[in-house]
């Protein structure tokens, strides 16, 4: 009886760990995407401030290819 309970608890803990690992992987993907967007904003702000339309268009194209 006790072995079955311990086995069930172990199985439950493993499932929880798998769920946590999946959540971490998803958060990493979101973090990477956020970093890419921050880079895009930075790439756009300077050229826009300098009114460099070619660099703005280049940054937008680069971003679109990354989607």
Tens-place pLDDT, residues 23-39 = 999 999 999 999 988 88
pLDDT of res. 3: 77
pLDDT of res. 8: 93
pLDDT of res. 55: 81
Residue 1, classed as helix, strand or coil, is coil
Tens-place pLDDT, residues 1-59 = 677 898 999 999 999 999 999 999 999 999 999 998 888 888 887 777 777 788 878 87
Length of the chain: 67
Give CA angle at 38 (66, 25), nearest 5°: 70
Task: Evaluate whether 66 touches 36 at the Cβ level (below 8 Å).
Answer: yes
Q: Is 21 left (phi over 0), alpha (psi -120 to 50) or beta?
A: alpha
pLDDT of res. 29: 96
């Amino acid at each position: 009886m006790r072995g079955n309970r311990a086995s069930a608890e172990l199985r439950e803990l493993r499932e929880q760990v798998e769920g946590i690992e999946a959540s971490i992987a998803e958060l990493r993907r979101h973090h990477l995407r956020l970093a890419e967007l921050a880079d895009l904003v930075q790439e756009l702000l300077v050229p826009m401030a300098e009114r460099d339309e070619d660099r703005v268009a280049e940054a937008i194209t680069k971003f679109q290819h990354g989607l």
